[in-house]
Amino acid sequence: MANENPPPKKAASNLYLGFDISTQQLKLIAIDDNLELHTEVAIEYDNDLKEFNTSGGLHAGADGVSYTAPAAMWVKAFDLMFARLEERGFPFGRVVSVSGCGQQHGSVYWKEGAQKVLQSLDSSKSLYDQLIDRFSIANSPVWKDASTTRQCRMLEEAMNGPEVVAKITGSRAYERFTGNQIAKICQEHNSDFKQTERISLVSSFGPSLLLGDYASIDYSDGSGMNLLDIHTKDWNQTALDACAPGLRKLLGVPTPSCSMLGTISNYFVQRYHFSADCKVCAFTGDNPSALAGMRLQQGDIAVSLGTSDTLFLWLDEPKPQLVGHVLINPVDSSAYMALLCYKNGSMTREWIRDKYADKSWEKFEKMLASTQPGNGGNIGFYFTDTEIIPVGVKGCFKFDKDDKKVEDFSPEEEIRAVVEGQLMAKLSHAQHLGYHVNSNTRILVTGGASENIGILQVLADVFGAPVYTLGGTKNAACLGGAYIAKCVYTDPSSFAGALQTAPQYTLTAQPVASVHQVYKDMLPRLQKLESDLLSHINDSE
Ligand code: ADP
Ligand code: XUL
* Mean of the per-residue pLDDT values of the chain: 95
Instruction: Give the Cα separation of 128 and 89 in Å (integer).
Output: 22
Contact residues for 466 (Cβ-Cβ < 8 A; gap 6+): 442, 443, 460, 507, 509, 510, 511
Q: In DSSP terms, which residues pair with 312 in a beta bridge?
A: 302, 339
What is the side-by-side order of every strand in the sheet holding 395-399?
A: 379-383, 395-399, 405-406
Q: Whose CA is closest to atom 10 on ligand 2?
A: 103
Q: Which ligand has the nearest atom to the CA of 143?
A: 2
What is the pLDDT, as a whole number, of residue 1?
Answer: 42
What is the pLDDT, as a whole number, of residue 5?
Answer: 64
* CA neighbor of 85 nearest in space, from 268, 252, 221, 217: 268
What is the pLDDT, as a whole number, of residue 514?
Answer: 98
Q: Which domains does the chain have, with CATH numbers?
A: 15-288 (3.30.420.40), 296-469+511-541 (3.30.420.40)
Q: How far is the CA of 309 from the centre of ligand 2 (A)?
A: 8
Return the percentage of the chain with pLDDT > 90, whole number.
Answer: 88
Q: What is the pLDDT of residues 227-262, one digit of tens each?
A: 999 999 999 999 999 999 999 999 999 999 999 999
What is the pLDDT, as a whole number, of residue 516?
Answer: 98
Q: What is the pLDDT of residues 339-364, one digit of tens each?
A: 999 999 999 999 999 999 999 999 99
Mean pLDDT of 364-383: 98
Q: How far is the CA of 306 from the centre of ligand 1 (A)?
A: 5
- Ordered DSSP codes for 128-193: HHHHTT-EEESEEE-TT----HHHHHHHHHHTTSHHHHHHHHSS---TTSHHHHHHHHHHHSHHHH
Q: At residue 275, does pLDDT exceed 90?
A: yes
Encoded amino acid at 262, one letter: G
Cα atoms in the Cβ-side hemisphere of radius 13 Å centred on 189? 15
- Locate the ligand 1 atom nearest the alpha carbon of residue 447 and give its number: 6
What is the pLDDT, as a whole number, of residue 168?
Answer: 98
Q: What is the pLDDT of residues 437-474, one digit of tens each?
A: 888 899 999 999 999 999 999 999 999 999 999 887 88
Are 292 and 480 in contact by the 8 Å Cβ rule? The answer is yes
Preceding amide of 390 cis, omega within 30: yes
* CA neighbor of 162 nearest in space, from 303, 291, 324: 324
* Phi, psi of 435, rounded to the nearest 5 degrees: -85, 130
Q: Give 376-410 as a 3 state SS string.
A: HHCEEEEECCCCCCCCCCCEEEEECCCCCEECCCC
pLDDT higher at 320 or 527:
527
Q: How far is the CA of 275 from the centre of ligand 1 (A)?
A: 34
Q: At residue 492, does pLDDT exceed 90?
A: no
What is the pLDDT, as a whole number, of residue 496?
Answer: 85
Pocket of ligand 1 (CB under 6 A): 22-25, 306-307, 346, 349-350, 361, 447-449, 451-452
Q: Whose CA is closest to atom 16 on ligand 1?
A: 346
What is the pLDDT, as a whole number, of residue 539?
Answer: 65
CA 209, 215, 220, 224: dihedral to nearest 10 degrees? 80
Q: What is the pLDDT of residues 406-436, one digit of tens each?
A: 999 999 999 999 999 999 999 999 988 878 8
* CA neighbor of 222 nearest in space, from 248, 241, 261: 248
How does DSSP classify residue 317?
Answer: S
- β-strands 379-383, 325-328 pairing: unpaired
- Locate the ligand 2 atom nearest the alpha carbon of residue 307 and give its number: 10
What is the pLDDT, as a whole number, of residue 414?
Answer: 98
Q: Whose CA is closest to atom 8 on ligand 2?
A: 308
Q: How far is the CA of 387 from the centre of ligand 2 (A)?
A: 12
What is the pLDDT, as a whole number, of residue 491?
Answer: 87
**What Rg do the C-alpha atoms of the chain give, in angstroms?**
23
How does DSSP classify residue 491?
Answer: -
Mean pLDDT of 396-407: 97
Q: Which of 29, 74, 144, 307 to mutate to test the pocket of ligand 1 (most atoms within 8 A of CB)?
A: 307
Pocket of ligand 2 (CB under 6 A): 23, 103-105, 143, 176, 224, 285-287, 306-308, 310, 339, 341
Task: Let me know if 358 is exposed, middle or buried by CB neighbors in 10 A (0-12, 13-18, 19+).
Answer: exposed
Q: Which of 346, 382, 384 to mutate to test the pocket of ligand 1 (most atoms within 8 A of CB)?
A: 346
Residue 509 — left, alpha, or beta (φ > 0 → left; ψ -120 to 50 → alpha)? beta
Mean pLDDT of 59-71: 97
pLDDT higher at 10 or 512:
512
Q: What is the pLDDT of residues 307-348, one digit of tens each?
A: 999 999 998 889 888 999 999 999 999 999 999 999 999 999
Cα atoms in the Cβ-side hemisphere of radius 13 Å centred on 438? 6
What is the pLDDT, as a whole number, of residue 473?
Answer: 83
Encoded amino acid at 46, one letter: D
What is the pLDDT, as a whole number, of residue 209?
Answer: 98
Q: How far is the CA of 321 from the centre of ligand 1 (A)?
A: 29
Instruction: Give the Cα separation of 191 and 529 in Å (integer).
Output: 47
Q: How far is the CA of 290 from the centre of ligand 2 (A)?
A: 11
Q: What is the pLDDT of residues 104-155, one digit of tens each?
A: 999 999 999 999 999 999 999 999 999 999 999 999 999 999 999 999 999 9
Mean pLDDT of 197-212: 98
Cα atoms in the Cβ-side hemisphere of radius 13 Å centred on 537? 14
Please give the helix or strand (H or E) that residue 458 lies within, else none: helix 453-463
Q: At residue 538, does pLDDT exceed 90?
A: no
Q: Whose CA is closest to atom 5 on ligand 2?
A: 103
Q: How far is the CA of 306 from the centre of ligand 2 (A)?
A: 9
Cα–Cα distances in Å, from 539 out to 279, 532, 533, 536?
A: 55, 10, 10, 5
Q: How far is the CA of 120 from the centre of ligand 2 (A)?
A: 33
Instruction: Give the Cα separation of 527 and 530 in Å (integer).
Output: 5
- Ordered DSSP codes for 345-373: SHHHHHHHHHHHSTT-HHHHHHHHHTS-T
Mean pLDDT of 53-61: 98
Q: Whose CA is closest to atom 7 on ligand 2?
A: 143
The neighbour count for residue 325, using CB atoms within 10 Å, is 27
| Residues in the chain, total | 541
- Locate the ligand 2 atom nearest the alpha carbon of residue 304 and give its number: 8
Q: What is the pTM of this model?
A: 0.94
Q: How far is the CA of 352 from the centre of ligand 1 (A)?
A: 14
Mean pLDDT of 185-207: 98
What is the pLDDT, as a whole number, of residue 4?
Answer: 55
* CA neighbor of 520 nearest in space, from 465, 450, 446: 465
Q: At residue 225, does pLDDT exceed 60?
A: yes
